[in-house]
Amino acid sequence: MNTKTFRRTLVVAAALSASLLGGSLQAQASSTIPFGTVLIPGSAWAGQYASLGDLNVYSNGDNTYGQVGTYGEAFQCTELVMRWAALRFGEPNTWDATSASDMWNVGPRLPIPLTQEPNGGPVAPAFGDIVVYASTSYNPTGHVAVVSAVTGRSVTIVQQNSTMNGVPTGNATLPISGTYMPPMWGLPIIGWLHHGASGLDLGASVHIAQLGGGTAASAISVSNNRIAAAQSNGNGFTNPTTLSSSYFFGTRGTVFADLSGKGRPSSAVAINDSSIWVELNTGAGTLSAPQNWSSGAFYGSRGTYLADVDGSGRASAVAINDDSIWVMLNSGDHFGPPQQWSSGAFYGNRGTYMAVIDGSGRASAVAVNDDSAWMLPNSGGSFGSPTRWTSTPFYGNRATVLADLDGSGRASLVAMNDTSIWVEANLGPNGGFSTPQRWASVPFFATSEYMADVDGSGRASAVVASSNDIWVAKNTGGSFGYPSQFYSANQ
């Protein structure tokens, strides 16, 4: 089929689809909104991506077709979708599809393959996804649209060549339950085509870790079918990309840690009941295929951690149990056999951590209790005797975190509460934490709370993440500043 014939076939399909979706062709013909009128400016729905080019949503007027533009017939539903995919994802200007619904099959075969996410499957739609409607006996052509916003209960789409009561409408808000969207005006939804760069999956597991391209940490999401990341530019997480498209997470935990040496980007680690697998950071914006780094059961009843315990700059596996601590040293391409580093009970009823707190460059074990904080000093091959570092109650009702707040390489103790953040600063070579200091006095919490260097300052800032966005209260060197939005699922 030559290009000219393809375009005609695709346009007629889209036009028929629109007449059945939004009203009859006669109703469209009586529209008072002329062909080519801007229904929704690109800046009103595409956010920062409006600067990429023309992303306006146009009226198709009386369903006129025959005007072929760069992205196919103007202004069919398919024209908007192909225009968005070309400008945002770098796809071809036109697709080799025979109808709107056929774009579901063509998407994975594009030069930059789009992922099919079935309606009701494991992955909910996200901003930028292409929603594809099925063909039916009464509508053999289907329909397509672009997701412009998502909430827990609804999905808003932008679309062309669709009418409501005879008037062209550029958008619609549809209900969603979990990951299932019911038919729109009787037309079933097949699913959505997803591009790796369309966003983080904030409804999944979210991590903050340094991935390369500078010292600032990136935001990372781990979902059922991919690992995505957005780098920090110091004021926001931008340019989300897919690091891995494999099914990769651990039944005991999924973490990101530097496995390759000091200053190297973090890799993904999946801890399972009887194995530990790794996807190494390639340094080129992707993760490697999964590699088995340990085939035996290794996890702790009190916690399993990845931490640099030998000063090599490479994280080793640490299991803290009720009565012992075990270590599997990082050998560069696998974890070595388990070694017992402590034979006594050491854990906190408020939290147990691995962190560098004494300036040695080696992570020690830290236990936070109701009325005290203790540490087991790392001697380079074992943990020493417990040492009390504070004798006051200090923990947060939202989170208690150990983080380097001053760039010294030594972690301080941070308590994140509903309406405040408090710090017990690391006192340095002599050991111990200071008296509590209030660093923030505004409510700052969400689904998850973190401390991480997200601006490249060397100092950890406060970070919170929900299913919709990520906010940061920057470390100003003695307090946390007013929170600012670093990422939105709808950006």
Both structure tokens of 458: 């060397």
Q: How many CB atoms lie within 10 A of CB 482?
A: 9
Q: So what's the pLDDT on residue 329? A: 98
CB distance 412 to 426 below 8 Å:
yes
pLDDT digits (tens, 9 = 90+) for 44-61: 998 767 888 999 999 887
Both structure tokens of 7: 């375009």
pLDDT digits (tens, 9 = 90+) for 59-96: 887 765 668 889 988 888 999 999 999 998 889 999 99
Q: What is the mean pLDDT of the chain?
A: 87
Q: CA-CA distance, 246 to 354, in Å (whole number)?
A: 29
Q: How many CB atoms lie within 10 A of CB 53?
A: 15
Q: CA-CA distance, 113 to 89, in Å (whole number)?
A: 10
Please give the model's pTM, rounded to 2 decimal places.
Answer: 0.64
Q: CA-CA distance, 8 to 72, in Å (whole number)?
A: 9
Q: So what's the pLDDT on residue 111? A: 84
Both structure tokens of 62: 């009386």
**Angstrom distances, CA of residue 404 to CA of 32, 42, 376, 459:** 62, 42, 18, 6
Which DSSP state fits 216?
S
Considering only residues 184 and 423, tell me which one the structure prediction assigns the higher pLDDT: 423
pLDDT digits (tens, 9 = 90+) for 91-123: 999 999 989 999 999 998 898 889 899 999 877
pLDDT digits (tens, 9 = 90+) for 316-353: 999 999 999 999 999 999 999 999 999 999 999 999 99
